[in-house]
Amino acid sequence: MRGRSHKAPEEASVDLTPMLDVVFILLIFFIVTSTFIQEEAIGLEPPPPPSPDQNQDQQQQAILVYVGEDNLITVNGRYTELAGVRANMERLRAENPDSALIIQAHPRAKTGTIVKIRDEAYNAKMTRVNIVQSEE
């Protein structure tokens, strides 16, 4: 057995180049086929000013919901809890069906409270809802 030489078996190696090619092709495919949704923000436009030819008697009263610094809620000057806001809005809207709703919030009021009031307004079928920031 002199003529035989023993060679050590070659180590097996895995070529990762084809796998990387496939990963990059999939990445490009998903980037090209993805759709990007633009989120809608809450409308913060104040109500338009009344035209000069309207009288004060003909102007419609707005429902004013004020959220204070300590998150106390008043609806047209009457203190209420968050659970009673919708009932007050519906009562005032029954008196004046075309009235708009203005949510006036203190700068330090919690955003969650303001959003809940806005949601209650939409649940009460209020069509014109505006959010404004009060001055300190």
Task: Determine the Cα–Cα distance for residues 95 and 88; give it in Å rounded to an integer.
Answer: 11
In a domain, 123, yes or no: yes
Judged against a pLDDT cut of 50, whether residue 58 lies above it is answered with no
> What is the average pLDDT value for the chain, to the nearest integer?
82
pLDDT at 116: 93
Domain with residue 101: its CATH number is 3.30.420.270
pTM here is 0.56
For the chain, how many structural domains are there in total? 1
What residue type is assigned to position 132 of the chain?
V
In a domain, 110, yes or no: yes
In a domain, 3, yes or no: no
Judged against a pLDDT cut of 90, whether residue 124 lies above it is answered with no
What's the whole-number mean pLDDT along residues 63-85? Answer: 90
In a domain, 121, yes or no: yes
- pLDDT classification of 79: cutoffs 50, 70, 90: very high
In a domain, 26, yes or no: no
In a domain, 102, yes or no: yes
In a domain, 105, yes or no: yes
pLDDT tens digits, one per residue of 13-41: 888 888 999 999 999 999 888 877 777 77
Judged against a pLDDT cut of 90, whether residue 61 lies above it is answered with no
In a domain, 84, yes or no: yes
Domain, as residue range, for 109: 63-133
Task: Determine the Cα–Cα distance for residues 127 and 119; give it in Å rounded to an integer.
Answer: 12
Which of 56-60, 97-101, 116-120 reaches the highest mean pLDDT? 116-120
Q: Tell me the three-class secondary structure of the chain, residue by residue.
A: CCCCCCCCCCCCCCCCHHHHHHHHHHHHHHHHHCCCCCCCCCCCCCCCCCCCCCCCCCCCCCEEEEECCCCCEEECCEEECHHHHHHHHHHHHHHCCCCCEEEEECCCCCHHHHHHHHHHHHHCCCCCEEEEECCC
pLDDT at 26: 94
